[in-house]
């Protein structure tokens, strides 16, 4: 075993480093969930463009970044959303002591 490790130390280190990097990437690319981010219900007349514009104004975010984030994290193939749809948006929930939930900008997301 010692001879194997001595002859293949670089390969073993490379494999360990690769596993560490894969784990880190997997951890950092966790999908959004309803417990962390705000979920909104689409109303009649809403569009993804309008919802993103409202969020962009309120939270100093870029509209196109919001649209791309929402499509990716909600599994949307197009920009079309329908009344009654529940979508997760890139605004983090904050809970205060009374249990009331507030929203904050998810600028680093």
Shared domain for 96 and 58, answered yes or no, is yes
SS3 69: helix
Residue 96 is predicted with a pLDDT of 43
Within 10 A of 1 (CB to CB), how many other CB atoms are there?
A: 5
Residue 45 is predicted with a pLDDT of 92
Q: Whole-prediction pTM value?
A: 0.56
- Residues in the chain where the model's pLDDT stays below 70: 1, 5, 26-35, 93-109
Shared domain for 52 and 91, answered yes or no, is yes
List, in order, residues 6 or more apart from 85 with CB less than 8 Å away.
41, 42
CA angle 76, 100, 66 (to 5 degrees): 25
Shared domain for 18 and 52, answered yes or no, is no
Residue 57 structural domain: 37-105
List, in order, residues 6 or more apart from 36 with CB less than 8 Å away.
92, 93
Shared domain for 23 and 49, answered yes or no, is no
């Amino acid at each position: 075993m010692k001879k194997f490790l001595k002859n293949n130390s670089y390969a073993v280190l490379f494999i360990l480093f690769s596993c560490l990097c894969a784990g880190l990437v997997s951890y950092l690319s966790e999908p959004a969930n309803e417990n962390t981010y705000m979920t909104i219900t689409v109303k009649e007349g809403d569009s993804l463009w309008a919802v993103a514009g409202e969020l962009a104004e309120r939270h100093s975010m870029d509209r196109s970044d919001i649209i791309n984030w929402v499509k990716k994290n909600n599994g949307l193939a197009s920009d079309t959303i329908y009344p009654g749809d529940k979508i997760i948006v890139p605004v983090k929930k904050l809970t205060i002591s009374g249990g009331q939930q507030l929203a904050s900008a998810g600028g680093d997301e």
